[in-house]
Amino acid sequence: MIDEQWTRSAAALKGDAEFWSLRIVDDRTDEHAVRNDVAQPYATIRDRGALLTAWCGAGAGYAATADLSKTGLQAALDVASARARASAAVTLIDHRSAPRPTVSGSYVSPNAEAALPARSEWIERLAHECAAAAIDARIVERTAGMRVAHSDQLYVTSDGVRIEQRFRYLMPQMTVVAHANGDTQVRTLGGFQSLLAQGAMEILARYRFEGSGAALADEALQLLAAPNCPSGVRDLLLMPDQMMLQIHESIGHPLELDRILGDERNFAGSSFVTPDMFGHYRYGSDLLNVTFDPSLPEQAASYAFDDEGAQARKQYLIRNGMLERPLGGTLSQQRARLAGVANSRALNWNRAPIDRMANLNIEPGESRLEDMIAGIEHGILMRTNTSWSIDDRRNKFQFGCEFGQLIENGRLTTVVKQPNYRGVSASFWRSLKAVGNDATREVYGTPLCGKGEPAQVIHVGHASPACVFADVDVFGGA
């Protein structure tokens, strides 16, 4: 819950900055796990502090503190103000003309007040799935986990804006490893740490956690017996848990505006996208519609306001294949003179917000899954990411999946292991030939998106239907 003492401390702040903001973040995380029927040590993390931002003249400054008393916050504001004055002569942005937050409001995750199990019940649930995966002696490792995270955030400004946001995240995990004759195959539920969502116990049903242990074990054994993925050019049907990674790496990162402007070049790389492309560049086929959508209540990165107080709403980044706008917050928008979105986001209280993906989704099309399969003469279905590689301009890529299945003459046939595919972002999305309907759409999220100096590893969300791409280079693993 938001501590009212924080509000009283903020109200007492004084200084000579033309504008200042205070963002307090209180994070609590609990982790439960069972591995090979043995409960793992309980982990709990508590992290709380504040970031003060000050604008003085043209400059801006930041200071973070774990001291949330009036004295501690005032000292941080004084430091931020001094840094703002010092930066005025070298700033890229004249903060005297920068947009300020004007709207107060609040946000609460769905079912945030719903009761959650005690640790003993979590362990019981996890142990059940872990035990259910022991269907064969070749199953050599079974791990079930649950991460529960709460984050209470208060944002106030010297102009009187007040924003309260309270989040609750659940992240179920299930991993099964099979081994025989020198071969090891891994199956995970949705991929490594990719089932992050906001809400309560309904998340387990959404991701089909119950029963996942036995189902994944069965598929891991199928992969042990399966031939290696063949090589060649085929139509590629990507299921939503792999589309998540495809969206993330070859749309999300290339469209981050600070990256386009060069801010990440010495750390996380740049982008093949340039500012002059917006408004007329064909990013994909006519079937490609990509939205920034922080309004889906169940998704990992849903919110009402970003971490600089900008009000968030759904907006198209790519419409009918044409590139419309970047993932850039208010300061990057001012710098690039391009319209963006409310996506200035920070890892926690001791990081300044930067341009980040949030919920980046592909809008559903009209194709049924069975019709997409029936329309493929020579293809392959792939699901659940296991590896990824993409160049520092987010263009050339190579991705691997856990599970593949050949499609021959409109029918799913042979299961294959170690399926991989490669392509070029600038042309791959133009080969999109079918987009699944809403019945094929699934919502995923991950807490592991890294970027920035100092580094920030933040949570993002991706929703997508199944999609078919024409004439993709696929190949098997070593």
pLDDT category, 478, cuts 50, 70, 90? low
82: tokens are 């001094």
Whether the CB-CB separation of 1 and 40 falls below 8 Å is answered with no
Give the C-alpha separation, 434 to 371, whole Å. Answer: 10
Which of these, 243, 152, 276, lies nearest to 436 by C-alpha position?
Answer: 243
Q: Supply the pLDDT for residue 140.
A: 98
Give the C-alpha separation, 230 to 474, whole Å. Answer: 7
Give percent of the chain above pLDDT 90.
Answer: 94
Sheet holding 322-323, edge to edge: 322-323, 315-319, 290-292, 360-362
Mean pLDDT score, 354-359: 96
Whether the CB-CB separation of 457 and 196 falls below 8 Å is answered with no
Give the C-alpha separation, 161 to 23, whole Å. Answer: 12
**pLDDT at position 298 over 70:** yes
Architecture of domain 4-225: 2-Layer Sandwich (3.30)
Name every residue whose Cβ is closer than 8 Å to that of residue 71 and which is 6 or more positions away in sequence: none
**pTM of structure:** 0.96
Give the C-alpha separation, 226 to 220, whole Å. Answer: 10
Q: Supply the pLDDT for residue 333.
A: 97
Q: Supply the pLDDT for residue 8.
A: 87
Judged by DSSP in three states, 309 sits in coil
Whether the CB-CB separation of 125 and 145 falls below 8 Å is answered with no
Which of these, 118, 133, 148, lies nearest to 27 by C-alpha position?
Answer: 148
**pLDDT at position 16 over 70:** yes
Mean pLDDT score, 153-163: 96
Whether the CB-CB separation of 300 and 197 falls below 8 Å is answered with yes
Q: Supply the pLDDT for residue 226.
A: 98
Mean pLDDT score, 318-346: 97
Summarize pLDDT for 367-425 with one digit per residue, the tens. Answer: 999 999 999 999 999 999 999 999 999 999 999 999 999 999 999 999 999 999 999 99
In the chain, what is the greatest distance between 2 CA atoms, to the nearest angstrom? Answer: 72
Whether the CB-CB separation of 333 and 318 falls below 8 Å is answered with no
Q: Supply the pLDDT for residue 2.
A: 74
**pLDDT at position 464 over 80:** yes
**pLDDT at position 3 over 90:** no
Cis amide leading into 454 (omega within 30): yes
**pLDDT at position 168 over 80:** yes
Q: What is the DSSP letter of 230?
A: P
Q: Supply the pLDDT for residue 265.
A: 87
Mean pLDDT score, 283-301: 96
Summarize pLDDT for 180-237 with one digit per residue, the tens. Answer: 999 999 999 999 889 999 999 999 999 999 999 999 999 999 999 999 999 999 999 9
Q: Supply the pLDDT for residue 6.
A: 83
Average per-residue pLDDT in the chain? 96
Q: What is the DSSP letter of 438?
A: G
> For the ranges 262-271, 299-308, 350-359, 361-370, which has the lowest average pLDDT?
262-271
- Domain-wise residue ranges, the chain: 4-225, 232-476
Handedness of CA 352, 197, 28, 127 (dihedral sign): negative
Strands 139-157 and 162-180: antiparallel
pLDDT category, 10, cuts 50, 70, 90? confident
Summarize pLDDT for 110-154 with one digit per residue, the tens. Answer: 999 999 999 999 999 999 999 999 999 999 999 999 999 999 999
Whether the CB-CB separation of 186 and 197 falls below 8 Å is answered with no
Judged by DSSP in three states, 130 sits in helix
Amino acid at 412: L
Give the C-alpha separation, 438 to 70, whole Å. Answer: 51
Q: Is 170 exposed, middle or buried (0-12, 13-18, 19+ CB in 10 A)?
A: buried
User: Between residues 8 and 294, which one has the greater pLDDT?
Assistant: 294
Mean pLDDT score, 276-285: 97
pLDDT category, 43, cuts 50, 70, 90? very high
pLDDT category, 9, cuts 50, 70, 90? confident
